[in-house]
Chains A and B, each alone.
Chain A
Amino acid sequence: MEHPSILVVDDELLIRDLLYDFFQDQGWDIAVAESGEQALEILEEKKVDVLLTDLRMPAMDGMALTGQVRKSFPGIPVVIMTGYPSVESAVSALRNKVADYITKPFNVNELYKRVESHLPREDEETA
């Protein structure tokens, strides 16, 4: 996979900018959205290998977005990030088949390793 693609969803501009620059430097094809609704519009038009979303957002939160992605775009791994971690939301993420749950503040290299581990493997893509 030469240029993996990622969609980052966060209502905080600072996080979107940080991750945009970081993933672009790593050679990824990155798109950003500031809301769950905008993320779904992007997914209609663009192939995405991994979705990285904030949990707490106005209107559609990260868990609701995960539910929509499961229904309309099954197979895209969803990674949740949150500055408000709790046992309840982590269990809910597990039950909703979220691929990973990352707490903020994060080390961006650690986050990268986690996200990269959820990319579809080459043999899965060609299967």
Chain B
Amino acid sequence: MSTADAMRPRVLITDDEPDIRNDLSDYLSHLGYDVSVADDAGSTLSQVTETAFGVLLLDDMLPDESGLEILPELLDIRPSLSVIVMTGCPTVKSVIKAMRRGACDFVVKPFELDELKTAVHRAVQRNRRLVDEAFRNCKDTTRDSGAVTNLISQD
């Protein structure tokens, strides 16, 4: 993988409809994102566990489990993941549920690609901010505990 590839934000698209997966994948790849796809909740959980995605586009209605149901588990695995929930049947209750479970955005199908582009861009910025914060906190904790000095002296 080249340095340029490594810098591309990683986006996972989860949708059980192949046309939506393919169209979104083509569109976001064209915009420069490093895109992967999943077609159910199980595959989403395993891919998020294995790969440090920054953004997840998560359909609510999946064949094995609802996207909103697996949202807390996904954020336990990757707290900095920015999750955009997608649904064709929006209700006030489902938006509130997404909010309380840690989604950062919610888009209603069918959506304009421009709306999605803006949402993904915002989600990438949020992910970068959270990763930076986590890195800073980790550095502070490490410095406070003297672990950095220990690591250096071990070299």
Interface string of A94-126 (1 = CB under 8 A from B): 110010110100000000000000000000000
Q: Which residues of B contact A95 (CB under 8 A)?
A: 105, 122
Q: Of B95, B104, B108, which is within 8 A of A101 by CB?
A: B95
B105, A90: Cβ atoms closer than 8 Å: no
Question: Does A87 count as interface, using CB distance less than 8 angstroms?
Answer: yes
**A126 smallest CB distance to B (angstroms):** 14
**B133 smallest CB distance to A (angstroms):** 12
Q: Which residues of B (62-113) have their CB < 8 Å from a CB of A? A: 90-92, 95-96, 98-100, 103-106, 108
Q: Which residues of B contact A98 (CB under 8 A)?
A: 99
Q: Of A85, A100, A103, which is within 8 A of B100 by CB?
A: A100
Per the CB 8 Å criterion, the residue count for chain B at the interface is: 14
B108, A90: Cβ atoms closer than 8 Å: no
Per the CB 8 Å criterion, the residue count for chain A at the interface is: 12
Q: Which residues of B contact A87 (CB under 8 A)?
A: 90-92, 95, 108
B106, A94: Cβ atoms closer than 8 Å: yes
Interchain CA distance A93-B96 in the complex, whole Å: 9
**A79 smallest CB distance to B (angstroms):** 11
Q: Which residues of A contact B108 (CB under 8 A)?
A: 87, 91
- Residues of chain B touching chain A, judged by Cβ–Cβ distance below 8 Å, are 90-92, 95-96, 98-100, 103-106, 108, 122
